[in-house]
Amino acid sequence: MKTMRDVAAKAEVSYTTVSFVLNGRDGEMRIPEDTRQRVLVAATELGYRRNELARAMVSGRNRMLGFLVSFPEAEATARMLAGALDEAEKHNYSLKVLKLNGNRLDRQSIERCLELRLAGVMAIYLDEDSLNFLHEEMARQQIPVAVLERPQRPASGIGVITDDSQAMRLAVGHLAALGHRRIALISEQPSLIFEAREAAFRATMREWKLPIPEGYVSRGQINAPDSRFIEDITRQLLCHPAGRPTAIIGITDPMALVALRVAHESGLQVPQEISFVGYGDLAMATYSYPALTSVELPFREIGGAAVRRLVERVAAPQDQAAPFDELLPARLNVRSSTGPAPREEARQEPS
């Protein structure tokens, strides 16, 4: 592969001149048009491409961000990545994806980030310890860190997350407007992210002055493809002593869809007798039967915002000390799984 020196030889100018022309720094040093052209022609004729590695090394600034991901096969991850890629391209940065084992961060992964001299690092779905570890190590090397879709307490570094209050207001508000009063939530095993959504659910229900009977917020876990646990939970919910909920919110789309399936199998009409709302709006929401009303989480925007923030910090590292969370709004996509609440008497029938 040709180097600048080759171009210089061909254009019969010095190596430095080539550098100046190719980097467009002829503002500082006047290069007459004919010399410029000679250099450019020589460069294209030789098929010269600049060596990003060498530039990065000499400038000490690697225009490359690391994306630490635990579950690269998840659609949510993929969508954040998509957003991050678009934004990175705008800033002429590139993205390196690094896989973690589960949501733990081992020393080896940290080492890789440091060895690659990444300009910044973003991470999703890390556990508490790993996150602290990451912050510590990166702070030592002055490398900015962005944490995606994970409430931080205390805030440390850059956080980019969905505005869960707003998102839940969309879900609950939609159902409440349709007349639903008995709304249940199927949640996940505790983790910061699900706790935040749960809290938002309870707060919103309070705003709407809707009661949450004991057991209306239940926790399950999907170990795909085994969803029996959630199915059991749903069945219990459907014959709840305080009355069957007229709407169920799944804290993720899979949760909602498993519950929806149980309702189908129990012979319930959706949405005539019971409504379902998902959270995430993954592709599966569009293609379920009936199509699932779901809160569309701003995955792309989260990825994009994280990159934007990182690039800002790289450019102006002075205010490293100010940690903050950026909240991004969700949208509601209303589909066929939600409808008006059934009339009171309808619920009294045996199911």
Among 27, 59, 223, 318, binds DNA (CB under 7 A): 59
Residue 134 touches which member of its own copies, DNA, none, C-beta under 5-8 Å by kind: none
Q: How far is the CB of 34 from its own copies (least distance, A)?
A: 26
Q: Residue 166, Cβ neighbours under 10 Å: how many?
A: 17
User: Which residue, 169 or 300, is less far from its own copies as judged by CB?
Assistant: 300
Quick check: bond before 290 cis, omega within 30? yes
User: Which residue, 17 or 227, is less far from DNA as judged by CB?
Assistant: 17
User: Which residue, 112 or 347, is less far from DNA as judged by CB?
Assistant: 112
Does residue 140 touch its own copies according to CB under 8 A? yes
Does residue 14 touch DNA according to CB under 7 A? yes
**Are residues 183 and 175 in contact, defined by beta-carbon separation less than 8 angstroms?**
yes
Among 85, 145, 175, 237, binds its own copies (CB under 8 A): 85
Does residue 23 touch DNA according to CB under 7 A? yes
**Interacting span for its own copies (CB under 8 A) from 5-13, 27-35, 127-135, 258-266:** 258-266
User: What's the CA gap between 261 and 267, in Å, rounded?
Assistant: 10
- What DSSP letter does each residue of 194-218 carry, written as one string? HHHHHHHHHHHHHHTT----TTSEE
Does residue 4 touch DNA according to CB under 7 A? yes
**Interacting span for DNA (CB under 7 A) from 45-53, 68-76, 156-164, 187-195:** 45-53
Does residue 287 touch its own copies according to CB under 8 A? yes
Could you tell me where the beta strands, DSSP code E, fall in the chain?
A: 64-69, 94-99, 120-124, 145-148, 158-162, 183-188, 217-220, 247-250, 275-280, 293-296, 324-328, 331-333
Residues whose CB falls within 8 Å of the CB of residue 37, separated by 6 or more in sequence, listed in order: none
Among 4, 7, 13, 62, binds its own copies (CB under 8 A): 62
What angle in degrees, to the nearest 10, is found between the helix axes of 253-265 and 228-238? 60
Does residue 206 touch DNA according to CB under 7 A? no
Strand partners, 326: 160
Residue 47 touches which member of its own copies, DNA, none, C-beta under 5-8 Å by kind: its own copies
Residue 126 touches which member of its own copies, DNA, none, C-beta under 5-8 Å by kind: none
Counting Cβ atoms within 10 Å, is residue 40 exposed (0-12), middle (13-18) or buried (19+)? middle
Does residue 344 touch its own copies according to CB under 8 A? no
Question: Given 3-state DSSP classes, what are the helix, strand and coil percentages for the chain, each rounded to the nearest 5?
Answer: 45, 20, 35
User: What's the CA gap between 88 and 117, in Å, rounded?
Assistant: 17
Among 24, 27, 30, 319, binds DNA (CB under 7 A): 30
Q: How far is the CB of 292 from its own copies (least distance, A)?
A: 9
**Are residues 296 and 331 in contact, defined by beta-carbon separation less than 8 angstroms?**
yes
Q: How far is the CB of 35 from DNA (least distance, A)?
A: 4
User: What's the CA gap between 265 and 227, in Å, rounded?
Assistant: 14
Q: How far apart, in Å, are the Cα atoms of 70 and each of 76, 99, 106, 108, 204? A: 11, 6, 12, 14, 31
Binding stretches for its own copies (CB under 8 A): 1, 47, 49-54, 56-57, 62, 64, 71-75, 77-79, 81-82, 85-86, 89, 94-99, 111-112, 114-117, 140-141, 224-225, 227, 253-254, 257-258, 260-261, 264, 282-284, 286-291, 300
Binding stretches for DNA (CB under 7 A): 1, 3-5, 13-17, 19-20, 22-23, 25, 29-32, 35, 48-51, 54-55, 57-60
